[in-house]
Structure 1
Amino acid sequence: MRVLIFTNTPAHVHTYRNAIDRLVERGHEVLVLAREYGCTTDLLDFFGITYRVYGSHEATAYSRLEFASELTGQLAAIALEARRFRPDVLFGRGPYAAFSGVVTAAPTVLILDDEPGDFNHTVSRPFADAIITPHVTRRDLGSNHYTFDGFKECAYLHPEVYEPIPDIRDRLGVADDEQYAIARFNAFDALHDVGAVGFSLSQRRDLLESLAEEATVFVSDEAGTMDFRDLPAREYDLHPALLHDAIREAHLLVADTGTIVTEAGLLGTPAIRYGGTEDREFGEFAALEDAGLIEDCDRYERVKARSLEILQDKRIRTRRRERRDAYVSGLVNLTDLIVDVAEARGDVDRVVSRTGGRAQATRVPNQ
């Protein structure tokens, strides 16, 4: 069987990497079409995944017109690769996967997170044979919409698939008893980020200076433009594939981007998300906040105050880890579901029937 998988961002690599390994081990042919964006291809190389690049995307703010121009050229390259490969089923999201499904007539499976109103959902949904989302998704996406009890990050952070490396502190250069925090700053360069704003430059500086009074501070700057020469912080400079291990050992993660906050929550690390100008509601953040695993703040002063309170609480990491263990143990291993759906050629109903819906996916009733 031939499986086509799109990895347009680093997060997509993590979502599919374990499933890719398993499908290849089972004798299936897998084509990964990748976009040069951030550390996407660095991650693919690190995990030994063979891929072909269909285009690139710079980590700078784009207008909608610039996105449209970029997309046109990339779709032409995708059409050539997809037709040549002739997939039996394909996985992805957004216009890339939707277009490939049209030109190859292959069953198209979209694995989405909870992004109400996202443009990618709008343009791809009519062409999808199955849409799979976390159970916390707040809307009906049509007759082929299925949910699973978990988050897309469960494809790589579920206890059944995640194995932390033991020497991450040595690699970071911090002592066993040294408290450290990670700050993650969004590049705001994706289509759904147009018009959104997170931490301002002055807020970044103020936050890092405040955190440095309580802990060693590492910064993961998505845009890669920060100047650290007069800041009391260190750039996170390990391979990006090790970032989850660094988060797991951290005493605090604070960010103005979403995925990494979800990841921290699922790893049991105290995490704060700054919403900035974002006015949409996200089911995944609400669920994790209700579970006591993350905090979602829409005011900078609250972010700063809670960050310092967390760093001053010496037992909070133990409490969060215990809470995380109890919560995550009941979630679906998304890698299992991806592999099952791939081998069923995108027929999720067949997968549900075979497993009785147990710890897999559930069709959303038409509303």
Structure 2
Amino acid sequence: MKVFVTIQHPAHVHFFRNAIAELEDDGHDVHVFAREKEMAVELLQLYDIEHEVLAGTASGLSQLARVQATYEARLLHRAIQSKPDVIAAIGGVAAAHVAKVVGARSVIFYDTEHASLIQNLAFPFASVVYTPDCYRGSIGPKQVRYSGYHELAYLHPNRFEPDPTIVSDLGLDPDDTFVVLRLIEWGASHDVGQGGFGDVKDVVTQLEDAGAEVLITSERSLPPEIESRRATVEPHRMHDLLAFANLFVGEGATMAAESAVLGTPAIYVNTLTMGYTDELDERYGLLFNYQDEDRHKLALKKAISILEGDEDWDARRQQLLSDKIDTTDVVLRGIKGHSRQSNDQSQTPDMEA
């Protein structure tokens, strides 16, 4: 087959990279198209994934609309030239539209219920939409639910083994207690009107008073008093860092979920929740959601209790892994056109429409 994969966020690189490698190993012709977004292009280069950049960055929603239109027009031009059989994407507005025009099959993966703009623009045109089984929305007959999370496409033990040298490379001792603090920019369309922490300096102070080193990864500028805590980590090593952290505290759902599936407890502070953040909280106790007006205070109280406690987080992770599947296998089945699976218990957990 000729397969187009579209990348518009760093997390999309991680999600598709193992599937891209396997498809190419099986002799399929894979073309990757990207938009400049944070470190997405840098990650493609680090993983030696051949790609073409179709559009640049955007600051603000109005500019994002123009950039998206450029991306879609250029993707359409490439599709008319190359005639792909399948176009795969996360979210997939451009992928679904272009595939419809050129007669290709569009395979969309999604896990974010509140991103209604993307859903309204993409889902009606998509051939199939794959969602985790904890996804709260019903998309209709084209929806295929699977027992997994996006993060298990690249952090399942079949796909990832963390490198412990990240700890010493950052000047830490293996016995040090450290927390990864993630702050987001609040610039996405679905982030408008939302919020996370109040006073970031207070977050750092309380975590340090509890005996933890604080390593900050932030999309936005930091107050001068805490700028020295910003961690310089190569983007492809961030998951190593999360795996060996004692705790994750942050406003970003993706990194919170990544930490959780790696067995690192995660404090997620954001007025928005998704089906997967709720499930990681309520079913597995690996992620703790804080959305309400007192979220700052309650989140820090829980963070300190975790740092002072002695829970068996690995046992919780093992339960999760026994329930969930390697999501790269789902991606490959979707791209190859196998959207249903037997209920035979000898198979991996079933997917259902």
User: 2:164–2:244: 8 Å Cα contact kept in structure 1?
Assistant: no
**TM superposition shift of 1:329:** 2.8
**TM superposition shift of 1:358:** 3.6
**2:182 counterpart (178, 181, 184):** 184
Structure 1 residues 266-345: aligned runs within 5 Å: 266-276=261-271, 278=272, 281-290=273-282, 291-298=284-291, 299-313=295-309, 315-316=310-311, 319-344=312-337
**TM superposition shift of 1:296:** 0.4
Structure 1 residues 90-239: aligned runs within 5 Å: 90-92=87-89, 93-116=91-114, 118-200=116-198, 203-213=199-209, 214-223=211-220, 225-227=221-223, 229-231=224-226, 234-239=229-234
What letter is aligned with 1:222? E
Aligned-pair RMSD on alpha carbons? 1.9
CA distance in 1, matches of 2:204, 2:113: 29
What letter is aligned with 1:273? Y
CA distance in 2, matches of 1:3, 1:357: 30
Determine the structure 2 residue equivalent to 1:17: 17
1:67/1:7 CA distance change after superposition, 3 Å: same
CA distance in 1, matches of 2:243, 2:258: 9
CA distance in 2, matches of 1:121, 1:6: 16
Unaligned segments of structure 1, at least 5 residues: none
User: 1:114–1:138: 8 Å Cα contact kept in structure 2?
Assistant: no
Deviations 1:93-129 (A, max 9, x none): 2322122212321000101113245211111111111
User: 1:256–1:275: 8 Å Cα contact kept in structure 2?
Assistant: yes
1:118/1:361 CA distance change after superposition, 3 Å: farther
Report % sequence identity.
Answer: 29
Unaligned segments of structure 2, at least 5 residues: none
User: 2:54–2:70: 8 Å Cα contact kept in structure 1?
Assistant: no
**TM superposition shift of 1:356:** 8.6
CA distance in 2, matches of 1:2, 1:360: 28
Q: TM-score, normalised by structure 2?
A: 0.93
What letter is aligned with 2:297? E
Q: TM-score, normalised by structure 1?
A: 0.89
- Are positions 1:359 and 2:352 aligned together? no
